[in-house]
Amino acid sequence: MTLVMGIVNVTEDSFSDGGDYLAPEKAIAHARSLVAAGADIIDVGGESTRPGAHRIPRDIERARIEPVVAFLAGEGISVSIDTMNAETAAAACRAGARIVNDVSGGQADPAMLPAVAAAGAEIVLGHWRGPSDDMYARAHYDDVVSEVMAELHERVDAARAAGIAPERIIVDPGIGFGKRGEDNWSVLRQLERIATLGYRVLVGASRKRFLQDALATDDIARRDLATAVTSVLAAQEHAWGVRVHDVQATVDALTIASAWKGSA
Ligand code: PMM
């Protein structure tokens, strides 16, 4: 069954939950509620990557995530660390994180891939064409799926050259990262093609703007049902995992989909 990665943004400015879990005890309580709802992995992030976001100092990012990662890993919870920063990734791995989730696929910090190799961690390589503060400037494609695949392939090669074993690599097409509405749909429509790269595929569509646009609504509360539907569709295309905010909705949707298929 497709794994569910629950999001804990220990940030001030993430686009849907910024500021809600900045205090470690709030982040931990939230993570526990996501695990109770059925999350398989908790993805802890200390820096927002929303469009227009600015980078934050490394010491602030580390101070935000370290106590949360250490506590959750100490409880036996599988933790991933959402960072583009090698030092933060290494610190999180020392604190017990098992997966480094780098939306830049190791491009933002040249020290990232060697750091992950040295830590023996798994890595999520996201498709990325540059920092969030001007990511749409590079959102021009002739054939978005082929280009995303070719660029992910380069990141995989770089990760393997740095000494990360292929079975420790997960790829993510980077929904919303340097992609406009229709680009995201093209990628999702051909998710199975991305899986032909030969690596596990993670999808992060949760609460993203393109879902709201498809529903033609400003009502942000309606994004969670839309997200749960994308989780089921991604699972049908053999996604290894989905990264979501509302874990309960996705777990329920995936459970009903497997009951329908007779494998629940
Ligand atoms: N999206 C965001 C942050 N981290 N990580 C992965 N692997 N894939 C994504 O699509 C992704 C990510 C931005 O969303 P958020 O601000 O709601 O966390």
User: What is the rounded distance in angstroms from the CA atom of residue 22 to the CA atom of residue 32?
Assistant: 15
Q: Give the residue whose CA is nearest to atom 8 of ligand 1.
A: 204
**What pTM does this model have?**
0.95
Q: What is the pLDDT of residue 209?
A: 94
Ligand 1 centroid vs 262 CA: distance in angstroms? Answer: 31
Joined tokens for residue 4: 């569910």
pLDDT for 172 beyond 70: yes
The torsion defined by the Cα of 208, 210, 214 and 220, in degrees rounded to 10, comes to: 30
Query: Residue 98, CB half-sphere, CA atoms under 13 Å: how many?
Result: 14
Q: Which atom of ligand 1 is nearest to the CA of 18?
A: 16
Rounded mean pLDDT, 138-144: 90
3-state helix, strand, coil in the chain (%, to 5): 50, 15, 40
Place of tokens 């470690």: 24
Map 57-78 to HEC letters: CHHHHHHHHHHHHHHHHHCCCC
Q: What is the pLDDT of residue 13?
A: 67
pLDDT for 135 beyond 60: yes
Is any atom of ligand 1 closer than 6 Å to the C-beta of 47? no
Q: Tens of pLDDT along 50-99?
A: 767 778 888 888 999 999 999 999 999 999 999 999 999 999 999 999 99
